[in-house]
């Protein structure tokens, strides 16, 4: 880790201490908004905007929670969030690994070209598609239906890419050939041989997809038109009204939205970060 650790001079020591200080300060700045989110979730508005603003937990979380469930269909939105995330993740794992397997393990005509197309679609700025996508969903009558959000995301380019990379590195071609000689059909090879071997990569892709879906906003906001079908980020934003905004309640809802991801991240930070950077860098 230490590039020139052999020469620990006084200057080096100071530099090191300065480095620690800098990192600590940066970490503090990064964590502070999360901290205040949790603190504000336990205070009433008058306290949040009073002087001095609260820096420690209060006792109004329950009140805030009550306001939240009274003003919005909170758990319904939460369930919508979860449902969308699961419905996006499971098919994505299947279709991405299937396609990744094909690109990694088969020789077929146009393979390189098809793969290049997939990578090229990553360059299309997604928000530009928002309006035509809405029109399409409107045209086929899928407004207000969750499938409008998860069906198009079933086979994402990034997922296929990650899967291909992993399968290339983790599965020897000989294994596939052996399975074929044993009489496995191509799909059986995928299902019985490949899938069990790529579990770590599936885990990473699953996490990435789940988090991405959990945080979705712009397209959900456009496609889901009723409170029963909206996801939590969309519904939380509607609380930010023109009058009488209960910021304590909003912070409580935000905390409950962010919390599961913080927990997931705490458990799988390394895996996630490696997956995300390798996906970004190699493409």
Partner 1 sequence: MRKAVNPAPSPPSAITLAMRWSNFQRRYAPYIFVSPFFILFLVFGLYPTLFSLYMSFQSWTPSDGWGRWKYVGLENYTFTLTDPMFWRAMWNTLWLGFFSGIPQHLIAIPLAFVIHMVLGRFKTLVVAVYFLPYITSSVAIALIFNTLFATNNGVINLVIAQLNTWPVLGWFLPDQNINWFLNSTIKYGIALVVIWQFTGWNTLLYLSAIQAIPKELYEAAAVDGASRYQQFRYITLPLLRPMMFFAVSLTIIGNMQLFEQPFVLLNGGASSATQGGQTVTMYMYRTAFEWLEMGTAASIAWILFIFIGILTYLNNLMFGRTARGEA
Partner 2 sequence: MKRSLILLALLLLAGLGLAQRTTLTVAVFPNLDDSIKAQIPLFNKKFPNVEVKLVIQQYADHHNALTTALATGQGLPDVAAIEIGFVGRFAEGQGFEDLNKAPYNADQYKRLFTPYTIAQATSADGRFIAMPVDIGPGTFFYRVDILQKAQVNPRDMTTWAGYIAAGRKIKATTGAFLIADAADVAWINIFATTPANQSPYFDEKGSVVVDSPRFVRAFELARSIRSAGLDAKIGAWTNEWYDAFKKGTVATQFSGAWLQGHLQNWMAPETKGLWRVQHLPEGMYASWGGSFYGIPSASKNKALAWELIKFLTTDREAQIAGFKAIGAFPALLSAQEDPSFSEPVEFLGGQQARLLWRDAARRVKPLKANKYDRVANEILSSALSQVLDEGKDVRAALAEAKRLIERRMR
Using CB under 8 A, which residues numbered 30 to 59 contact partner 1?
Answer: 30-34, 36-37, 40, 48-53
Applying CB under 8 A, the site for partner 1 has a residue count of 102
Among 63, 144, 188, 215, binds partner 2 (CB under 8 A): 144
Orientation angle between helical segments 157-170 and 74-105, nearest 10 degrees: 50
Q: How far is the CB of 199 from partner 1 (least distance, A)?
A: 19
Residue 22, judged by CB atoms within 10 A of its CB (0-12, 13-18, 19+), counts as exposed
Among 12, 75, 177, 178, binds partner 1 (CB under 8 A): 12
Among 238, 265, 273, 274, binds partner 2 (CB under 8 A): 238
Applying CB under 8 A, does 138 fall inside the site for partner 2? Answer: yes
The whole-angstrom separation of Cα 124 and Cα 170 is 30
Applying CB under 8 A, does 209 fall inside the site for partner 1? Answer: no
User: Which residues, other chains included, contact 206 with Cβ-Cβ below 8 Å and sequence gap of 6+?
Assistant: 89, 93
- Three-state DSSP at 9 gives coil
Applying CB under 8 A, does 132 fall inside the site for partner 2? Answer: no
Among 223, 250, 275, 279, binds partner 1 (CB under 8 A): 250
The whole-angstrom separation of Cα 162 and Cα 167 is 9
Among 3, 10, 124, 242, binds partner 2 (CB under 8 A): 242
Start-to-end Cα distance in the chain: 27
Applying CB under 8 A, does 244 fall inside the site for partner 2? Answer: yes
Taking CB under 8 A as the binding criterion, the range among 58-66, 71-79, 175-183, 197-205 that sits at the site for partner 1 is 175-183
Applying CB under 8 A, does 1 fall inside the site for partner 1? Answer: yes
Among partner 2, partner 1, none, the one that 244 touches (CB under a kind-dependent 5 to 8 A) is partner 2
Among partner 1, partner 2, none, the one that 243 touches (CB under a kind-dependent 5 to 8 A) is partner 2
Query: Nearest-CA neighbor of 253 among 70, 85, 88, 83?
Result: 70
List the interface residues with partner 2, window 63-82 (CB under 8 A).
71-72
Among partner 1, partner 2, none, the one that 125 touches (CB under a kind-dependent 5 to 8 A) is partner 1
Measured CA distances, 86 to 82, 91, 244 (Å): 6, 9, 35
Taking CB under 8 A as the binding criterion, the range among 20-28, 109-117, 178-186, 219-227 that sits at the site for partner 2 is 219-227
Taking CB under 8 A as the binding criterion, the range among 68-76, 167-175, 177-185, 196-204 that sits at the site for partner 1 is 177-185
Applying CB under 8 A, does 111 fall inside the site for partner 1? Answer: yes
Applying CB under 8 A, does 82 fall inside the site for partner 1? Answer: no
Tally of CA atoms within 13 A in the half-sphere of 217 that contains its CB: 8
**Contact predicate 139/73, CB 8 Å:** no
- The secondary structure of 161-220 as a DSSP string is HHHHHHHHHHS-HHHHHHHHHTT--HHHIIIIIIHHHTHHHHHHHHHHHHHHHHT--HHH
Tokens 């090879």 belong to which residue?
189
Cβ nearer to partner 2, comparing 188 with 227: 227
DSSP one-letter code for 140: T
Chain residues that interact with partner 2, rule: CB under 8 A: 45, 49, 71-72, 138, 143-144, 225-227, 237-245, 247
């Amino acid at each position: 880790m230490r590039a020139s650790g052999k020469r620990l001079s006084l200057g080096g020591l100071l530099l090191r201490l300065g480095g620690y200080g800098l990192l600590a300060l940066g970490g503090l700045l990064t964590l502070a908004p999360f901290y205040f989110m949790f603190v504000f979730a336990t205070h009433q508005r008058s306290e949040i905007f009073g002087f001095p603003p609260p820096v420690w937990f209060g006792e109004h979380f329950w009140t805030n929670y009550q306001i939240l469930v009274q003003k919005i269909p909170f758990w319904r939105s939460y369930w919508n969030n979860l449902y969308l995330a699961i419905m996006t993740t499971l098919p994505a794992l299947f279709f991405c690994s299937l396609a990744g397997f094909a690109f990694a393990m088969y020789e077929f005509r146009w393979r390189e070209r098809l793969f290049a197309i997939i990578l090229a679609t990553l360059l299309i700025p997604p928000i530009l598609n928002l309006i035509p996508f809405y029109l399409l969903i409107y045209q086929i009558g899928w407004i207000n239906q969750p499938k409008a959000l998860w069906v198009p995301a079933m086979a994402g380019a990034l997922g296929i890419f990650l899967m291909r990379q992993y399968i290339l590195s983790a599965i020897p071609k000989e294994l596939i050939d052996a399975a074929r000689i044993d009489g496995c059909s191509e799909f059986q090879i995928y299902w019985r041989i490949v899938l069990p071997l790529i579990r770590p990569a599936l885990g990473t892709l699953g996490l990435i997809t789940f988090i991405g879906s959990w945080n979705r906003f712009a397209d959900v906001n456009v496609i889901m038109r009723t409170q029963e079908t909206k996801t939590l980020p969309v519904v939380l934003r509607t609380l930010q009204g023109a009058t009488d905004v209960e910021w304590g309640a909003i912070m409580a809802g935000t905390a409950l939205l962010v919390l599961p991801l913080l927990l997931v991240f705490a458990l799988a930070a390394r895996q996630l970060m490696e997956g995300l950077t390798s996906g970004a860098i190699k493409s």
